[in-house]
């Protein structure tokens, strides 16, 4: 085993007890200690989901990237596994950056970015590692497998990263993020018959001005008769209520022309309307279903679990099941969530034009709310003794808006956005029924409504928390809370 991996595993084992548990979620993947960013290598292998992630074990800030690793049968309960990759070679000495996984001949392959950044050069190349047991990985002696020679005159080797590998019609392909000389995002397509020898195929898609100065973390897959390209633009420009976070996530939907290697876009939209969602990656389950998971955080925001010296920072979102309906990407809770929460079903209440309060018994709660056309609600979470500090979820049918806000609530989170904000909203059609699934884990809320989602983290200082639901006069509601 490489020394850098042995050292990281030993450090984790010796120091994990020091991690403060106060804000750690129960059913979201977290780093055992230290820093986590992007999901990597999301893959179904020998009957289990494996999820790797950008990981720096030694501090709760970003540092030379390792790949943390966990596996799960139901996408909610995660079993920690040893560190999978750590910087060890000249081509990845400053970090094993984001990438993906694929199963070939019952072996698990990781295609990742080797990052080099020193006084002499900044260079990003794509490298392969292989495992027969799904736990320990060997980097190929012939690494890197995609490098400067493949992109001469096409893209800059300094920003060339995050390969997502997939198989299509008997061939292997990888999409890789880069940018144009005038700072627009660009996704490159490469092909291989064996995962080792790669050729440049085409520029799959180029961004327009305003769509970000660099694209990161692409993923490209067929879904319900179309092709979907998801990616994460750095500094995409705001459009009405969309793309407010410093860096955004976008799904482009369209058709792939395999002869030209170009992707023709029908439409695109922001993937999540909340405050904390970045670098999503998808994986196909055993029956062809597609799940997506993202880093539930935003670059350059302060993270209270770091500021408070709790010894960890960052988490994943819940994996979401994807489909296309009426040309739109739809995200739903994975089925295992219902099983998880139904075990301890606590209350079911009909509210008729009034307000109910539900003492928060635990930090894991699922609300299911049905809103009839034109009717509004406010769901808040606050301390009985501190009415000014409130986490708010508001559906205002007259404004056709659903918003979530952590303004004035808990430990302050600051970011680099200008102007700054602590709440965001999405548009909803007021003429329609809406079903809201609102899922709360210790330090996060994820809202699912009409296939759209909003994700947000928070770090409460609340001691006697209550949920309060205020509903429109004369409207029936079914509120179910499942509190763990």
- Nearer CB in complex with ligand FRU: 235/370: 235
133, HSE (Cβ side, Cα atoms, 13 Å): 7
Peptide bond into 331 cis (omega under 30): no
Among 29, 33, 43, 65, binds ligand FRU (CB under 6 A): 65
Is position 37 an interface residue for ligand FRU (rule: CB under 6 A)?
Answer: yes
Work out which of 43, 279, 379, 426 binds ligand FRU, going by CB under 6 A. 279
Is 156 catalytic? The answer is no
Q: Which of 113, 143, 192, 317 binds ligand FRU (CB under 6 A)?
A: 113
Rule CB under 6 A: is residue 54 a binding residue for ligand FRU?
yes
* Residue entry with tokens 């990003």: 124
Q: Which of 92, 123, 162, 368 lies at the binding interface for ligand FRU (CB under 6 A)?
A: 162
Residue 95 CB, nearest distance to ligand FRU (Å)?
7
Binding map of ligand FRU across residues 215-254, x = CB under 6 A, - = no contact: -xx-------------------------------------
Catalytic residue among 38, 159, 272, 276: 38
Dihedral through CA 271, CA 275, CA 280, CA 283, nearest 10? Answer: -80
Of residues 12, 34, 36, 38, which one binds ligand FRU by CB under 6 A? 38
Q: Whose Cβ is closer to ligand FRU: residue 279's or residue 404's?
A: 279
Rounded to a whole number of angstroms, the minimum distance from the CB of residue 115 to ligand FRU is: 7
User: With binding defined as CB under 6 A, does residue 98 bind ligand FRU?
Assistant: yes
- 85 or 375: CB nearest ligand FRU: 85
Question: Rounded CA gap, 313 and 323, in Å?
Answer: 31
- By CB under 6 A, tell whether 97 contacts ligand FRU: yes
For residues 71 and 179, which CB has a smaller minimum distance to ligand FRU in the complex? 179
- How far apart are alpha carbons 36 and 29 in whole angstroms? 10
Residue placing its CB nearer to ligand FRU in the complex, 246 or 475? 246
Closest distance of CB 214 from ligand FRU, Å: 8
Nearer to ligand FRU, 66 or 452 (CB): 66
Tokens of 245: 């976070």
Beta carbon nearer to ligand FRU, 68 or 334: 68
Instruction: Output the smallest distance, CB 140 to ligand FRU, in A.
Output: 19
One symbol per residue from 249 to 278: x for binding ligand FRU (CB under 6 A), - otherwise; what is it? -----------------------------x
Write down the least CB distance from residue 350 to ligand FRU, Å.
44
Catalytic positions are 38
Contacting residues toward ligand FRU, per CB under 6 A:
37-38, 54, 65, 97-98, 113, 161-162, 216-217, 278-279
């Amino acid at each position: 085993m490489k020394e850098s991996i042995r050292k990281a595993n030993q450090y984790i084992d010796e120091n994990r007890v020091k991690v403060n548990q106060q804000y750690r979620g129960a059913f979201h993947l977290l780093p055992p200690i230290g820093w986590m960013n992007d999901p990597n290598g999301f893959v179904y292998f020998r009957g289990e989901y494996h999820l790797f992630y950008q990981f720096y074990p030694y501090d709760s800030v970003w540092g030379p990237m390792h790949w943390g690793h966990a596996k799960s049968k139901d996408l909610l309960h995660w079993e920690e596994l040893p560190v999978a990759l750590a910087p060890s070679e000249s081509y990845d000495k400053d970090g094993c950056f984001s990438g993906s996984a694929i199963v070939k001949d019952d072996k698990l392959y990781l295609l990742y970015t080797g990052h080099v950044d020193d006084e002499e050069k900044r260079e990003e190349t794509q490298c392969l590692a292989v495992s027969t047991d799904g736990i320990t990985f060997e980097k190929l002696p012939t690494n890197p497998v995609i490098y400067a020679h493949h992109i001469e005159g096409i893209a800059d080797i300094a920003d060339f990263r995050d390969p997502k590998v997939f198989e299509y019609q008997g061939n292997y392909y990888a999409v890789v993020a880069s940018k144009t000389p005038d700072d627009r995002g660009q996704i490159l397509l490469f092909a291989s018959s064996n995962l080792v020898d790669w050729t440049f195929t085409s520029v799959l898609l180029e961004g327009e001005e305003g769509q970000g100065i660099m694209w990161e973390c692409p993923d490209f897959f067929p879904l319900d008769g179309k092709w979907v390209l998801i990616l994460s633009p750095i500094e995409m420009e705001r459009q009405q209520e969309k793309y407010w976070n410093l860096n955004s996530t976008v799904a482009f939907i369209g058709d792939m022309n395999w002869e030209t290697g170009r992707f023709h876009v029908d439409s695109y939209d922001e993937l999540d309307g909340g405050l904390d969602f970045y670098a999503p990656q998808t994986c196909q389950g055993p029956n062809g279903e597609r799940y997506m998971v993202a880093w539930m955080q935003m670059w350059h925001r302060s993270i209270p679990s770091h500021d408070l010296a709790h010894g960890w920072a960052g988490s994943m979102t819940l994996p979401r099941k994807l489909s296309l309906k009426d040309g739109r990407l739809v995200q739903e809770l994975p089925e295992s969530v219902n099983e998880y929460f139904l075990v301890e079903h606590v209350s079911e209440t009909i509210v008729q034009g009034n307000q109910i309060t539900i003492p928060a018994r635990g930090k894991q709660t699922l609300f299911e709310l049905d809103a009839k056309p034109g009717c509004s609600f406010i769901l808040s979470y606050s301390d009985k003794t501190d009415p000014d500090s409130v986490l708010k979820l508001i559906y205002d049918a007259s404004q056709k808006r659903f918003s979530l806000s952590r303004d004035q609530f808990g430990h302050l989170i600051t970011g680099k956005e200008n102007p700054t904000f602590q709440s965001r909203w999405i548009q909803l059609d007021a003429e329609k029924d809406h079903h809201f699934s609102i899922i709360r884990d210790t330090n996060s809320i994820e809202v699912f409504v009409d296939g759209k989602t909003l994700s947000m983290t928070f770090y409460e200082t609340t001691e006697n928390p209550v949920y309060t639901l205020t509903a429109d006069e004369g409207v029936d509601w079914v509120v179910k809370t499942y509190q763990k």
